[in-house]
A and B are shown apart, each in its own frame.
Chain A
Amino acid sequence: MSAVTDKTPQGGIHPSAPSLKHARLPKWAPAATAVGAIAVAVGIGMGAELSSKIQWGLIAVLLFVGTLHVLSSKVEGTRQAKDRLATSLLWVCFILAVIPLFSLIEYTIAKGLKVLDAAFLSHSMNGVITTETGGGIYHSLIGTLEQVGIATAMAAPIGLLTAIYLVEYGRGKLAKTVTFFVDVMTGVPSIVAGLFILSFWIIYLDFNFSGFAGAMALAILMMPVVVRSTEEMLKLVPNELREASLALGVPKWLTILRVVLPTAIGGIVTGVMLAIARITGETAPVLLLVYGSTAINNNPFDGPQDSLPLYVFQQWKNGNEPSYDRAWAAALVLIALVMAFNLLARGIARWKAPSGGRG
């Protein structure tokens, strides 16, 4: 190659530089530029007495992206400079996306830890005067766990079986109709699901407010999510595995039960867990159907219960300092609960994933 390029006349793609090497910025350059940009931005901000920290941030971002681009195009050439520009813009976007998440968690933890202790987790609000400290979320925690548990017990099997029908058996009009209604259900606002159960179960059939009524509305919200995620997971199972099983003379239902489902179980469980996490934070249907209560009610089938989102809402509505503290602490518990579901889902997915690959 080099012997040939030596004799190549001027005018090729690299008329003067036949080498494959070229100058690079050192590895620490982006980090150093970022630190420098932030320092300069802070200097400008203080010097010009800009009050808004957002302005400081914008200046830092522009300095970082601009400086790195200029540096790179001077040292590394235009193609590398474009690469640097795209990379640094992506980093900025990533940080922008992460800021709200982290500040939300940080704020909730800071505010929530104030009253969060064992007593808070193990006591109800029964007999607590809302303008004073004390009381807890035990009744709401029980309510949330029971309502979400019942909703899952209703929605997960129906959703799973629907998905199995759609992927393994569904042909023609019926399957299309089912898919269409699942799509429609995905878009049902939670308040509408709540109103439907309210008018049907409580007003028309004349049942009392209860955790079960709330769970039914939550199940309506959860079902399409389970169907969708399970459907996707079942579609990922290679057809060859189904054929291998069928070719052994295994009936179709056993093939689905013993070959298809175990292969997809990790993803299915993750989908169900994420659906659970989604409905755990629902407030509207709970507000309409569970009604809210300050006392412990362990029976989800009779009488008003409470739930964590509802608790946060009501404490905030009380409008005084001790109630705000309780609301933050309950919000923290709610976030922790949802996070625990997510982590559990990931753990199960990793544990159940088909152990493939050459060892």
Chain B
Amino acid sequence: MAKRIDVSGLSAYYGSAKAIEDISMTVEPRSVTAFIGPSGCGKSTFLRTLNRMHEVIPNAHVEGKVMLDDENLYASGVDPVAVRRTVGMVFQRPNPFPTMSIYDNVAAGLKLNGMRRKGDLDTLVEKSLKGANLWNEVKDRLNKPGAGLSGGQQQRLCIARAIAVEPQVLLMDEPCSALDPISTLAIEDLIGELKERFTIVIVTHNMQQAARVSDRTAFFNLAAVGQPGRLIEIDETERIFSNPSVQATEDYISGRFG
């Protein structure tokens, strides 16, 4: 199921502006990798290059290689739609489809990709909602609109929607930044469970969160305002938070800047 991601020499551009420069790293399967760093350093941009969502933005393009096991996502002939089915994504703000019920939201990816059999759908919807720890809260109102849930529930609904299509990798772009501590805890617990099945990459501004949920942590920074963001270092989370090898990382973590 879960796959390893190998990035080498990756740069991403918005028009002619370079947002991130020459990033190389390895993301281990069945683990949680956290991206930390100050705002605007390209964490989210880099995350979006991992499932080719970056190029959805007009004039954006990418240079370099992203290997998913032994397939380059940016090789010619690779279908971005197929990439996104393999590498799912959860966004910063919960974004359930407002016209759809809870059930249809979870089933959206399956239905829109051609799965029609009611029985199979029912099974997968239940499995995904259970996987996102939401089943008990919504099982009696599956036909109510998804937008009627609370923020934390909406975000778990979005996670259920993302895992329903059975991706190999799950990218999370600050999934808890719009949530209260209790919902955050629910999602962090969920991340712990999901890493048994998926490769998880999470962007977060909350360093305690990175320390709590991740196995490895990558620190991003930019040399100066207007410069592209770079990967400063990536290591075991424990090492990053106790004994980082770069001074800038220690400064950032201990709150001396950023």
Contacts and interface: CB of A to CB of B under 8 A. Distances in A.
Interface stretch (A72-80, A249-257, A327-335): A249-257
A4 interface: no
A357 B108 CA distance: 20
Interface in A53-97: none
B134 interface: no
A238 B150 CA distance: 19
Please tell me the size bucket of the interface on A. Answer: 20 to 34
B147 interface: yes
B212 to A, nearest CB: 25
B147 A354 contact: yes
Interface string A18-62: 000000000000000000000000000000000000000000000
Interface in A334-359: 354-359
Contact of B98 (A242, A248, A354, A359): A354
Contact of B145 (A171, A241, A263, A356): A356
Given A171-B58, A243-B53, A258-B112, A249 B81 contact: yes
A245 interface: yes
A251 B147 CA distance: 23
Contacts of B83: 249
Nearest to A255: B112
Interface in A280-317: none
B58 to A, nearest CB: 6
A259 B109 CA distance: 11
B98 to A, nearest CB: 4
Interface in B57-96: 58, 81-86, 88-89, 91, 93, 95
Contacts of B86: 249
Interface string B136-156: 000000001101111000000
B162 A249 contact: no
B145 A250 contact: no
Nearest to A359: B148
Contacts of B249: none
B113 interface: yes
Contacts of B231: none
A184 interface: no
Given A243-B91, A248-B165, A263 B81 contact: no
Given A240-B95, A263-B98, A248 B109 contact: yes
Given A171-B58, A354-B99, A356-B98, A248 B147 contact: no
Contact of B88 (A247, A357, A358, A359): A247
A359 B146 CA distance: 11
Interface string A206-235: 000000000000000000000000000000
Contacts of A105: none
Given A249-B109, A359-B148, A259 B97 contact: yes
Contacts of A258: 108, 112
A245 B112 contact: yes
B10 to A, nearest CB: 19
Nearest to B144: A359
Contacts of B51: 247
A358 B150 contact: yes
A263 B86 CA distance: 26
Contact of B113 (A241, A249, A263): A249
A248 B108 contact: yes
Contacts of A241: 95, 97-98
B224 interface: no
Contacts of A251: 81
Nearest to B167: A249
A238 B158 CA distance: 16
Interface in B144-189: 144-145, 147-150, 158, 161-162, 165
Contacts of A357: 147-148
B89 A263 contact: no
B56 interface: yes
A245 B108 contact: yes
Nearest to A237: B98
Contacts of A161: none
A244 interface: yes
Contacts of B158: 244
Given A356-B98, A356-B147, A248 B58 contact: no
A250 B81 contact: yes
Interface string A145-165: 000000000000000000000
A242 B82 CA distance: 16
B84 A243 contact: no
Nearest to B150: A358
B113 to A, nearest CB: 6
A21 B89 CA distance: 55
B148 A246 contact: no
Greatest chain B CB density within 10 A among A250, A255, A358 is at A250
A242 B99 CA distance: 13
Nearest to B59: A171
A262 interface: yes
Nearest to B52: A246
Contact of A250 (B56, B109, B162): B109
11 contacts: A240-B91, A241-B95, A241-B97, A243-B53, A243-B56, A244-B95, A247-B84, A248-B109, A249-B82, A249-B165, A356-B148
Given A244-B161, A248-B109, A248-B165, 9 more contacts: A241-B97, A243-B53, A244-B95, A247-B88, A247-B89, A248-B162, A249-B81, A249-B83, A249-B84
Q: Which 4 A-B pairs have the closest CB atoms?
A: A249-B85, A354-B98, A248-B109, A247-B89
